[in-house]
Amino acid sequence: MIKVVSIIKYFIAYLFIGLALGSYFPVLTSYLKNDLKISSIQIGTLMAITTIVPILTLPIWGIVTDKIKSPKRSLMIAVLFSAVLISLLTFIKTYILFFLIIALFMTFRAPIFALYDEILINVCKERQVNYGTIRVGGSLGFAISAIIGYFYANLYGHEIIFILSGIFFLIVFIIIIVSDDVNYKENEKEKMNIKNDLPILFNNKYFIIITILVGITYGVNDSNLPYMSTYLENIAGSNQYNALAIFLSVIIEVPMLYLTKYLYRIYSLKKIFLIINIMNVFRYLMFFLFPNYIMILMLASVHGLTYSLSYPMLIQFTSENVRTKVLATAYSLLSAIVAVSTAFITYLTGLIIDSGVQNIFLLFLSIHILNIILIIILLKNYDFKAKTV
């Protein structure tokens, strides 16, 4: 009971992080298209910038965190400014200004997961708690927020989603104030340096290979979600099923994040990774052959399965195969690789969306088939148990 009480605040924080992101993210493309009346290419550019910005800014956050030696303080700054900037989008009606504000917002929103994961994994190790048990709060929050955001958007207009997100970010900020920080050993504090850490990480080729392969898988998954309302609008004639599709996509993560540690004990991470990509091949093949909203709803849970299996897998692999002193850099690097993948795929999706949603499904199908081939070739003799770098 004491253990549960001591970690409940971390679960609640992740719950509200999920609520903050889920309030605006799933309906953002619909807002841009129907309210701001901007083109598909402009939407693709905007969605891509939300992943390009982290690539450029995460190293800066790493340097700042190393200097102040406090992930908690960096996280507080990031969350507070995220709350303010996302709320400002309520009043922005021009493309250029929206572009600038959302780019600035992403500068502060970018490190939230990396910084909070660093704190959370440290807490999980100290108190012997499963990471997925707490991380499930984010999935639950995201699933609930899809319905909350859709409900209030219908009542008050799409602009309300930014206010809701800002409120949820402020609640996260309050919780972080009373959360623990990461206590590095003094000798590790002195040696933490991105310039020195990167060569160490790049010398572990399997860390890089696995991060890239998971990044590609996660990139497709992350690119799919913001365009779901557009799929449903094109296929079903409206996006009224969007909240349900998002809910079904994410809610499966709740039980799966509890089960991951047991699956990892039974099956190798390589086999699980292959299964993830095979499931996605089946999903997008069905979407391509039978493009209707019923099929999207039926297979929506594959999204949640992909996320709940792949992201904790990457976190677990990294925490087990990277020394503590380079963990912060490792998490920033894997976040950047995922961001590059997501940005590229998101931009491609924006470019081809006007030619029909089936072409998007074909793109995603091709990427997952390629990923399966790369897994088989590059990880042929590897069992995901590399030596510590």
- What is the sign of the dihedral through the CA atoms of 63, 69, 71 and 77? negative
Residues of the chain with pLDDT under 50: 1-2, 186-192, 385-389
- For each of the domains in the chain, give its residue range(s) and CATH number, in order of start: 8-378 (1.20.1250.20)
Taking only the tens place, the pLDDT of each residue in 96-108 is 999 999 999 999 9
Q: What is the pLDDT of residue 364?
A: 93
Q: Which residues are CB-contacts of 318 (< 8 A; sequence separation ≥ 6)?
A: 207, 211, 327, 330, 331, 334
- Which H or E element spans position 49? helix 40-68
Residue 35 is which amino acid? Answer: D
Quick one: tokens of 98? Answer: 């929206």
Residue 388 is which amino acid? Answer: T
Beta strands in the chain (DSSP E): none
Measuring CA to CA, which residue among 39, 157, 172, 156 is closest to residue 109?
Answer: 172
Alpha carbon distance 29, 167 (integer Å): 21
Tell me how far CA of residue 310 lies from CA of 10, 111, 123, 273, in angstroms.
Answer: 21, 19, 21, 7
Check: CB of residue 88 under 8 Å from CB of residue 101.
yes
Alpha carbon distance 85, 184 (integer Å): 31
Alpha carbon distance 343, 221 (integer Å): 12
Check: CB of residue 123 under 8 Å from CB of residue 129.
yes
The DSSP symbol for 148 reads H
Alpha carbon distance 15, 377 (integer Å): 38
Q: pTM for this one?
A: 0.78
Alpha carbon distance 238, 252 (integer Å): 24
Q: What is the pLDDT of residue 263?
A: 77
**Contacts made by residues 173-178, CB under 8 angstroms, sequence distance 24+:** 173/76, 173/79, 173/80, 173/83, 175/9, 175/12, 175/13, 175/16, 176/13, 176/72, 176/75, 176/76, 176/79, 177/76, 178/9
Measuring CA to CA, which residue among 51, 45, 76, 46 is closest to residue 61?
Answer: 76
